[in-house]
Amino acid sequence: MSRLDETRPFIPVRIAILTMSDTRTAAEDRSGNTLAELITGAGHTVAGRALVKDDVEAIRARVSGWIADPEVDVVITTGGTGFTGRDVTPEAVKPLFEKEIDGFAILFHQLSYETVGTSTIQSRACGGIARGTLIFCLPGSTGACKDAWNGILKWQLDNRHRPCNFVEIMPRFEEHRPKA
Q: What is the pLDDT of residues 29-65, one digit of tens each?
A: 999 999 999 999 999 999 999 999 999 999 999 999 9
pLDDT band at 1 (very low <50, low <70, confident <90, very high): low
Q: What is the pLDDT of residues 122-153, one digit of tens each?
A: 999 999 999 999 999 999 999 999 999 999 99
Task: Please answer whether residues 140 and 78 qualify as being in contact, where contact means their C-beta atoms are separated by less than 8 angstroms.
Answer: yes
Bond from prior residue into 163 cis (ω within 30 degrees of 0): yes
Domain 12-172: give its CATH superfamily. Answer: MoaB/Mog-like domain (3.40.980.10)
Mean pLDDT of the chain: 95
Domain ranges of the chain: 12-172
Poorest-pLDDT segment among 18-27, 47-56, 104-113, 120-129: 18-27
pLDDT score at 25:
84
Task: Please answer whether residues 119 and 127 qualify as being in contact, where contact means their C-beta atoms are separated by less than 8 angstroms.
Answer: no
Cα gap 180→113, rounded to integer Å: 45
Cα gap 89→73, rounded to integer Å: 19
